[in-house]
């Protein structure tokens, strides 16, 4: 099982359909899922993602992502 580092820009692009990189982020997310890979990140990045996606329109996506069992946080 592969571990892939999750960064904020990917998460925002995946969550925001108006983001210029949204289509590519969706493609990458599908590849990650198909590979049965885990996303790895730091607590600082999780905080950054939570802050970036705190607007009402992004909250559902942010909650789903942050509650995902496929993300492992490393300090």
> How does pLDDT run across 28-58, given as a tens digit for each residue?
999 998 998 888 889 899 889 888 888 887 7
- Report how far residue 53's alpha carbon sits from residue 57's, in angstroms, rounded to the nearest whole number: 8
The C-alpha atoms of residue 32 and residue 28 are separated, in whole angstroms, by: 6
pTM here? Answer: 0.73
From residue 30, how far is each of 10, 23, 44, 69, 74 by CA, in Å? 13, 11, 25, 16, 23
pLDDT for 10: 93
């Amino acid at each position: 099982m592969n571990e892939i580092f999750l960064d904020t820009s990917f998460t925002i692009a995946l969550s925001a359909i108006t983001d210029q990189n949204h289509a590519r982020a969706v493609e990458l997310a599908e590849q990650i899922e198909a590979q049965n890979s885990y996303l790895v990140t730091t607590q600082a990045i999780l905080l950054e993602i939570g802050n970036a996606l705190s607007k009402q329109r992004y909250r559902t996506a942010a909650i789903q992502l942050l509650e995902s069992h496929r993300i492992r946080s490393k300090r």
